[in-house]
Structure 1
């Protein structure tokens, strides 16, 4: 006799059909393209796109300036020596030269490759101007960003391979971080202060002037508030601790020592 399986009274539910599985685990369809396009802040990105167009257009047409030639010479020396020999009498930090060296290594020895990093930094400055919206308002931040995007002087320097645009970018990041810490107190704004300060130190020795001006401005603001108190200036509760501060300081010191060594 063939052995028979044991008899059980356990009831086994039928497996759900494919239609039932789809109904239970239904995936929400993607929103229509028109809705997604309507959700894009076209003014925000339009200002950045306009600034980028005016900076990338005919980038290599203008002959190199004297300062660009000097910076290019430093990059050539880095290619020969494999590092940048820092000279404090030059009054320029090493960061710009290392970034130019990286761009030239990627794209070759072209004038547009020498100017490309500064173009990106200039566009980044326009973007940072828009990020001041929580502090100065939507309209003011966008008017300021548009002015930077189409300013003939800022376009000129934004297509010109020198250190000053980096100093602008990092000083804006520094101020944005200070305002953000006062208003919101989040860890991200702490990093803005740290990266902005380290970037200024790595760009030009004149960073001390910018930090000194920031201290003077803080003192003037305190006196002004003492004479004419302003509403809603109470400092926000800080959402970072000493460990976060130590990480930011340690990272900044590491990169400063690394690039200056």
Structure 2
């Protein structure tokens, strides 16, 4: 019993240490670099939201609404400043470290190693301190990946929940979710048709699906509709989500992006 208490205390101390280091590395001297053009544009979008009362989604300039609504929430709480603009990705950068401590993967060593690597990664630190979409998007990519990787190890509701949450976040942030889904699709094809049927068959998913997953799915679906319709003030925004794929693919294929 004493050994168990010591182990739990050590684990809690480790988590708190990682959290403290993540917060310090992401928030300390947050304004200590010039503002980027995209950061200014994102701030401008939020100013337009204040005038319209919602984020008007434009399929020809695909950037999903989630980031702007979170930024608007931060500004309503702490005012408009460069620190607040960069605080949103900084929070998601901290979450990108701590999400591995959720224990999605079976190996504690792998979970801890990934948390440490993300903590000290120069790319994660740099983009985690920039007021743009990349860091929130990468956070949901990680959640999505953890869900799929856990599903390969253990087909349970926890894996489904991570998968749904990660997918929802990517869909509501950036058009590049198409690239992520394509890359995972190609990778999973390497498992072969028999393994794919065993892992992703309807019966296997139905076994892991429970009431909690249903509630999560419905909540995420409702939030998705609300975000893209400007909380029902711009109903066409939901259809525009699907329209955005074609102009974005055209931009990528013809070398304009």
TM-score w.r.t. the length of structure 1 is 0.74
Q: Which residue of 2 aligns with 1:240?
A: 209
More relative contact order, 1 or 2 (CA 8 Å, 6+ apart): 2
C-alpha distance in structure 2 between counterparts of 1:219 and 1:79, whole Å: 46
Separation in 1, partners of 2:223, 2:104:
30
Moved more, 95-104 or 189-198: 189-198
CA positional deviation for 1:133: 6.5
Which of 72, 75, 87 aligns to 1:104? It is 75
Equivalenced residue count is 219
1:73-84 matched pairs, under 5 angstroms = 73-84=44-55
Structure 1 segments unaligned to the other structure (5+ residues)? 1-30, 227-234
SS in 2 for 1:90: coil
Aligned-partner SS, 1:119: helix
Tell whether 2:61 aligns with 1:90: yes
Q: Which residue of 2 aligns with 1:118?
A: 89
Structure 1 pair 58/245, CA: closer, same or farther in 2 (3 Å)?
A: closer
SS in 2 for 1:84: coil
Residue 221 of structure 1 and its aligned partner are, at CA, apart by 3.2
TM-score by length of 2: 0.75
Choose the corresponding residue for 2:22, options 26, 29, 51. 51
Query: Structure 1's 83 and 38: CA in aligned 2 closer, same or farther, altered over 3 A?
Result: closer
* Separation of aligned partners in 2, 1:244 and 1:120: 26
Query: For residues 237 and 77 of structure 1, do their structure 2 counterparts lie closer, same or farther at Cα, with a shift above 3 Å needed?
Result: closer
- Conserved in 2, the CA contact under 8 Å of 1:163 and 1:203? yes
Q: 1:38 to 1:181 in 2, by over 3 A?
A: closer
Aligned equivalent of 2:133: 163
* Residue matched to 2:109: 139
Worse overlay, 38-47 or 151-160: 38-47
Alignment RMSD, CA only? 2.9
> Structure 2: which 5+ residue stretches go unaligned?
197-203, 230-257
CA deviations on 1:76-118 (whole Å, 9 max, x unpaired) are 1111111111111112111101110110011001111111121
| CA shift for structure 1 position 191 | 1.8
SS in 2 for 1:203: coil
User: Where in structure 2 are the equivalents of 1:58-73 lying within 5 Å?
Assistant: 58-73=29-44
Structure holding more helix per residue: 2
TM-superposed deviation, 1:249:
3.5
Q: Which moved more, 1:117-126 or 1:46-55?
A: 46-55
Between structure 1 and structure 2, the one with the greater Rg is 1
Q: After TM superposition, where is structure 1 displaced by more than 6 Å over at least 4 residues in a row?
A: none
2:188 pairs with 1:218: yes
